[in-house]
Amino acid sequence: MKGSLQPSGGIHPLLAGRFSPYGFDPSAAVDDQALGLLLEAARWAPSAGNSQPWGFFTGRPGEAEHERIVPHLAPSSARWATDAGLLVVTLTRRHVDATQQLLYSEFADYDLGQAVAHMTIQAQALGLDSHQFRAFDLEGLTKELDPQPGWAIVSMVAVGKAAGGPPEGRERRSVAELRSGPWSAAR
């Protein structure tokens, strides 16, 4: 059962207005101040043991970093992501070193998700939109960026001004469905 498109009363407008655009205004730049605020928001996200197991490789159109990212986009994401004012490659520190024998944090991916969520809401506060995605050549991008031992690329985020509003007919699962969850009924 799907829930109403309209959020229930009381949800913060930044959360209620968030959507993942499939089009960005190519003339809308993400300036240094906005980039700094996005990264600062991610920096203040909670993490297990304050481990902060996240890192970001950023590139804006016209920058060499952007040119390193774009060739690795899948055709499905290249159609819209290249017009964003900023591409962010998200990385997590899963292991202490390249041996992968000692976990840096067993919550690294979860904590990275927290940091990206903070970045997403900060983008909303700045009048920007964001679209998180995984449609890219992970192996190729990993070879290109060559992360330090123990680090892994997880996803990407396109940030900029949306070209158009939220899609019509957007649905979310209901709160009741979220609460009923995938677990077995009480015995």
Q: For 14-69, how does the pLDDT look when each residue is reduced to its tens digit (9 = 90+)? A: 998 899 999 999 999 999 999 999 999 999 999 999 999 999 999 999 999 999 99
Residue whose C-alpha is closest to residue 105's, from 44, 49, 42: 49
Exposure letters 74-106 (e unless 16+ CB within 10 A, then b):
eeebeebbbbbbbbbbbbbbbbeeeeeeeebbe
pTM above 0.95, yes or no: no
Domains in the chain: ranges and CATH: 20-163 (3.40.109.10)
Please report how the helices 108-125 and 32-43 are oriented relative to each other, as an axis angle in degrees rounded to 10: 140
